[in-house]
A and B are shown apart, each in its own frame.
Chain A
Amino acid sequence: MEEAQKQVWVFGDYRNYFQNRVTLQLIARARELAAAMDGQVCVLLFGHELQDWIDEYVAHGADTVLVIDHPSLKVYQSETYTGLLVDLARQHRPEIILVGATSFGRELAARSAKRLNTGLTADCVDLRIDEQGLLVQTAPGFGGNLLAEIVIPRHRPQMATVRPGTFQELPHDYLRAARVERLDLPPNLPPERVRLVKSERLPPREQALENAEVVVCGGRGMGSKKKFRNLHELARLLDGQVGATRPVVYAHWAEDGALVGQAGRQIKPQVLFSFGISGAIQHTAGISGNPFLVAVNKNPNAVMMQMADVGLVADANQVCLALIRELKNRLRT
Chain B
Amino acid sequence: MNTVVLIKQVPQAAELPWDSRTGRLKREASEGMMNPACKHALEAGLRIKERHGGTVMAVSMGPPEAEEVLREALALGADQAVLLCDPRLAGADTLATSYTLARAVERVCPDFDLVLLGCHTTDSETGQVGPQMAEELDLPAVCDAEDIQIQGKRLTARRVSDGFLETLELTLPALLTVTTQEFTPRDTPLGGVERAFAQAQVRVLDAEALGADSSRMGAAGSAGSMLRVYSPTAQKKGVLLKGAVKKNVQDLLDRYGDRLGGLIRKDLGLEG
Contact = CB atoms under 8 A, between A and B. Distances in A.
Contacts of B271: 329-330, 333
Interface stretch (B61-69, B127-135, B193-201): B127-135
A122 B229 contact: no
A72 interface: no
Nearest to A318: B245
A198 interface: yes
Contact of A333 (B161, B256, B272): B272
Given A19-B162, A141-B229, A196-B166, A327 B224 contact: no
A15 B164 CA distance: 10
A141 B226 CA distance: 11
Interface string B219-258: 0001111111111111110111110011011101101110
A183 interface: no
A251 B167 CA distance: 31
A118 B224 CA distance: 8
Interface stretch (A28-36, A48-56, A108-116): A108-116
Given A103-B162, A147-B232, A151-B227, A114 B222 contact: no
Interface stretch (A1-9, A60-68, A88-96, A200-208): A200-208
A135 B156 CA distance: 40
Interface stretch (B15-23, B40-48, B81-89, B205-213): B15-23
B253 A200 contact: no
B170 A193 contact: yes
Interface in B147-187: 156, 160-171
Contacts of B54: none
Interface string A136-160: 1000011101111111111100000
Given A197-B167, A271-B263, A310 B161 contact: no
A294 interface: yes
A106 to B, nearest CB: 6
B259 interface: yes
Contact of A103 (B123, B125, B161): B161
A312 B94 CA distance: 43
A268 interface: no
Interface stretch (A38-46, A165-173, A174-182, A301-309): A301-309
A307 B236 contact: yes
A312 B269 CA distance: 20
Contacts of A155: 223
A155 B93 CA distance: 13
A239 B18 CA distance: 30
A293 B166 CA distance: 40
B125 A114 contact: no
Contact of B171 (A18, A150, A193): A193
Contact of A194 (B169, B222, B229, B268): B169
Given A305-B240, A306-B233, A311-B238, A103 B168 contact: no
B149 to A, nearest CB: 11
Contacts of A319: 245, 248-249
B252 A250 contact: no
Given A110-B94, A202-B160, A323 B249 contact: yes
A141 to B, nearest CB: 7
B168 A196 contact: yes
A117 interface: yes
B234 A306 contact: yes
Nearest to B246: A322
B228 A149 contact: yes
B263 A214 contact: yes
B73 interface: no
B267 interface: yes
Given A110-B94, A306-B236, A314-B248, A197 B168 contact: yes
A210 interface: no
Interface stretch (B1-9, B24-32, B105-113, B138-146): B138-146
A197 B169 contact: yes
A242 interface: no
B141 A246 contact: no
A79 B143 CA distance: 12
A220 B98 CA distance: 35
A313 B233 contact: no
Given A122-B127, A238-B264, A250-B19, A198 B167 contact: yes
Interface in A105-136: 106-107, 109-111, 113-115, 117-123, 136
Contacts of B132: 110-111, 113-114
8 contacts: A110-B127, A113-B132, A118-B95, A119-B95, A150-B225, A250-B16, A292-B259, A312-B249
Given A148-B228, A310-B238, 13 more contacts: A78-B131, A78-B143, A110-B130, A115-B135, A118-B223, A120-B94, A142-B229, A146-B230, A147-B232, A201-B163, A309-B236, A310-B241, A330-B269
- List the 8 closest pairs (A to B, CB-CB), nearest first: A119-B223, A193-B140, A247-B15, A251-B18, A119-B224, A122-B126, A110-B128, A110-B131
